[in-house]
Amino acid sequence: MQHRITAAALLAACVAAGFAKATGPAARAGKSATFSAKNEFKVTVPEGAKSVRAWFAMPQELPEQKITELKIECSVPHRIVKDDHGNSFVYVEAAAPAAKEIALGESFKITRQEIVGAVDAAKAKPLGADEKAKFAADLAANANVQITPEIVELAKKIVGDEQNPVKAARKIYDWVLDNVDYWVKDPATKKASPVGSAEYCLSTRTGNCTDFHSLWIALARASGIPCRLVYGSIFKPELAGQDKDQSYHCWPMFYASGIGWISHDVAVADIFRGTFPLDDKNTPLVKLTTASGYAGPDEKMVEYYFGNIDERRVVWSIGRDLKLDPPQAGGPVNALPKAYIEVDGKPYSEKSADGKTVQWSRKLTYTEVK
């Protein structure tokens, strides 16, 4: 069964949901890149399952991300739905499924524009009362973006009396770069949390992109700066045309009154900050963390990723603690860069509890269109 969605329809839906407003004001056209991509899912149906429900991530239509030739093929009936943040997903529901596997494939062409942010602090100003009300959810804690007394106190020390949101955001950006190390620098001793946690990142001073950005967002929100977390993937040159999953990546946006939403990526920037020893274990991981590889420390890249996002990316969803449609049986979904699946009303993770069995999988592959 095949489902076709036009790019125009997706764009209209995303504008209605507020995504265009979220990214447009802070962006102008930069470099562009076009990719032909496939996003494939396979779900192993447990023996005796009475119900399987799945929400699969799909590429969002955004001002900087144009989707064409979208085709969705699935072994069971499906439809497009939205969550409470305005993200679109492919929804599948199977009652007493006879098949042992549910397969879904998304193929599409994507043209991405580089986001070149407007980060002129002179144009920024503190939030007004109406903006505080409008962005209340973007100032509040999430389940794993904890705004604890410790984080509030730390935010005060970092930001001080600075009222300008761009200057305050940059202070937090620099503090995280100076005090946290991305786990790929030393995978033998540094680990990521399984959920992307501000508290974990602060206590261990390491983590993956979601840990990094959870801490950054917690500190920024504690300083009165609205933030959102974008989940996507980076189309890495080294993996183009290979039958290997591209994994996922996340990056934040923060709102500055007088400018709009500003994107940045403190996690990738950390790869370029300072020196660290390279060996056969961390070198492949370090190179694959970035959009264009790694050739050593580069403060220009650190500057770049405060307000700019390269063109080799795709966005799957925006936000955390998601409420899906139709409503999921479990609590709010922490994040959805790949899929959220329930079997008989209970969350069904990618791997079994012992980590030995793959229960469902996602594979993103692509080729660059020159």
pLDDT in tens, 351-363: 999 999 999 999 9
What pTM does this model have? 0.91
Beta bridge partners of 80: 90
Domain with CATH 3.10.620.30 in the chain: 116-315
pLDDT in tens, 161-182: 999 999 999 999 999 999 999 9
| Domain spanning 2-114+321-369, CATH class | mainly beta
* Residue 120 near residue 259 (C-beta atoms within 8 A): yes
Domain with CATH 2.60.40.2250 in the chain: 2-114+321-369
Output the CATH code of domain 116-315: 3.10.620.30
Q: What is the pLDDT of residue 43?
A: 97
pLDDT average, residue stretch 244-256:
95
pLDDT at 252 over 70: yes
CA 193, CA 206: separation in Å to the nearest integer?
9
With bands split at pLDDT 50, 70 and 90, how would you rate the model's confidence at 27? very low
* Cα Rg of the chain, angstroms: 20
pLDDT average, residue stretch 310-322:
97
For the chain, the average pLDDT equals 92
